[in-house]
Every structure is written in C-alpha cells, then in structure tokens.
Copies of this chain bind each other. A is one copy, B any other.
Amino acid sequence: MSIALDPKKNHLLAALPEAEWQRWRPQLEPVEMPLGEVLSESDRILDHVYFPLTAIVSLLYVMEDGASAEIAVVGNEGVVGVSLFMGGETTPSRAVVQSAGVGVRLKAQVMMDEFHRAGPVMHLLLRYTQALITQMVQTAACNRHHSLDQQLCRWLLLSLDRLEGRDLVMTQELIANLLGVSREGVTEAALALQEAGLIRYAQGQITVLDRPGLEQRSCECYAVVKKECDRLLPNSLAM
C-alpha cells in the first residue's frame, strides 16, 4: 500500500483554511499504521498527533487486570492526541491501530503552537473533540444497556464508515478484545448476523452485505453518534 496518499483524505486537514494548510503541509509526515501499533500509551506524553487517512485507531482503556474496553474510534474524520491541546498532555488511555492503513502525523509542538493561535484550527479541533466526547458518552451508555449483538452491529457500522469498501480485516478474537467481551460471545453474535444475511465472514475477513439491515439491528447508539458527527463536523464521514 502506498504511503503517500493525499493528506486531505483526512477531513480535519481538508477543512483547514488555505493559510493553515500551506503552513502545515511541509510538516506533515506520512506514516504507515500497521495493525496493532500503539500510537500512544496510557499516561505517556505524545510526541506526535496522528491524522489517519485509511487506518482506523481504537482508543482503549486497559484495566489493571488487563481487560480492556474500547472508548472510541478515530478514522479519517479525526485525529489521535486531543489531550495535547486540551492541556493535559496525557490521558489514561491507549491508542491502538485497529485497522491497518496509512496516516500523517505532526510534531506535538507544532500542533500545540497552531492550536494556541486560537484561530479556526482551534475551533475545528474543539468541535472534533466534542464529537469524540459524544462517542465516549454513547459507548458508556451502550456498555450499560445494550446486548452484545447490538453492540457488534454498532461497531461494524462505525468501522465501515471509516473505511472504503465494505470489507473489514478483523478476527473475532480481536473484536472481542476491543469490545471487552468474550470471543465466544462474538462468534455467536456474528453467526446470528450471518444467518440473517447481514454479513459474510471467514478467517478474519468480514464483508457487510446489508448495511441498512445492520443499522436496523444496531442500537440507537450508532445513529446518535453519526448524527452528532455530521452536525459538528461538516462532511465528517462522507466519502
């Protein structure tokens, strides 16, 4: 896969005013983002912020006993590392590449400086952060009230929105780890979805056959997040 994709595939970068774009452009460094790569570790200061282009990143909270829970996902609609400009510099969560691809990154200091100009970049980033908050809130509520089945649908849709095509490369084991549920549970739920004709899968490759069907079977959480993203980030997940 070529690493030199157009950075404007990332919607935040695409939304930059011309002046900022010209300033940032030479500083943007293309990076491969292979499956499983840890972009930022819990409580560690980031050296870069990452703008995914084709990759998807999971924000995970990892508990003391090793169990984990996905808090939010970041694709080409967003950026990894909001804690940098929020002022805290670190977060108690981990950012892991969930779906391999490419992205571009920017030195932390550059990002901070740009943010502190307090111009349109700042407002863009803050709006994005609010969209991210919405996703976190919805995850919390979803974890409390919805079935594994519904959550799997939500998760597939969130991932699908951030990918081209309708295929995800993703084993059930991995999904289970991200969602913080048992692998067997995912197997059962996935089987049900396959029997319903909504997806087809084999050996770590999932194909979505009936997207509207998935949306219907998903809990409301997906729609709420999608709607907020669209509202807060013009062109957020349109491809």
Residues of A near any B CB (own CB < 8 A) = 59, 61, 63-64, 67, 69, 71, 83, 85-88, 91-93, 116, 118, 122-123, 126-127, 129-131, 133-134, 136-141, 143-145, 180, 220, 224, 228, 231-232
- Copies of this chain per assembly: 2
10 more contacts with CB within 8 A, not counting A88-B130, A88-B131, A88-B231, are A61-B140, A63-B145, A67-B145, A69-B141, A69-B145, A71-B140, A91-B137, A92-B138, A118-B122, A133-B136
Closest chain B CB from A159 CB (angstroms):
18
Cα(A136)–Cα(B130), bound, Å:
12
- Determine whether the beta carbon of B180 is less than 8 Å from that of A144: yes
10 cross-chain CB contacts under 8 A: A63-B145, A69-B140, A86-B126, A87-B130, A87-B232, A88-B228, A116-B118, A118-B122, A129-B129, A139-B140
